Chains A and B, each alone.
Chain A
Amino acid sequence: AQSVSQHNHHVILSEAASLELGCNYSYGGTVNLFWYVQYPGQHLQLLLKYFSGDPLVKGIKGFEAEFIKSKFSFNLRKPSVQWSDTAEYFCAIGGSQGNLIFGKGTKLSVKP
């Protein structure tokens, strides 16, 4: 069965620190991978996605993620976080029924 693991439940950083949020998935076939973000009081929105091609994908607001097939990973990175990046981040994999299978999410708190 497909599953997604996000190992960090809550990450606290100071502004300008670098960010890396881990995401591992279990599925042996072709994968579609996503990162979604939920800012406080807002609804879930797509941050970036990987379907095929260049394994380093760039998303909105300076975020990027790297698909490493051998490690079944799709980690999210940002070189320098801002207070406005405070949010909950969800990694997801495309499921066989067209649904998304989400990880449990990582809360990011950025201290000004």
Chain B
Amino acid sequence: SQTIHQWPATLVQPVGSPLSLECTVEGTSNPNLYWYRQAAGRGLQLLFYSVGIGQISSEVPQNLSASRPQDRQFILSSKKLLLSDSGFYLCAWSHIEGFGYEQYFGPGTRLTVT
């Protein structure tokens, strides 16, 4: 069966510090991968998605970047965190065949920027 891991589960970082959140998927190959941010009262906002190694698409201009160094690894980064980067970050994967199919979510990372 497929599983998705995210770490760390929680993170408190000062403004201006760097960020690296990692997501890995097991039990499937060549998945679509996604990073979302969930903010209270604002639902889930798609940040990045990837259809393959090295292929990253950004949905929202921001202080963040994403990379996919391996087929089942997706990394969310920032060089200098802002207060507004606080939130709950979710990684998700879906089967690459076809669009709009269901996605499977990881447990998330709660980021607090102080």
Contacts and interface: CB of A to CB of B under 8 A. Distances in A.
Interface of A: 9, 31-32, 34, 36, 43-46, 49, 90, 93-105
Given A43-B108, A105-B43, A99 B49 contact: yes
B105 A44 contact: yes
B11 interface: no
A65 to B, nearest CB: 14
Interface of B: 32, 34, 36, 41-44, 46, 49, 51, 57, 59, 90, 92, 94, 96, 98-108
A102 B43 contact: yes
B43 A99 contact: no
B99 A97 contact: yes
A43 B106 contact: yes
A36 B41 CA distance: 16
Contacts of A104: 41-43
A9 B41 contact: yes
B100 A98 contact: yes
A22 to B, nearest CB: 15
A44 B36 CA distance: 12
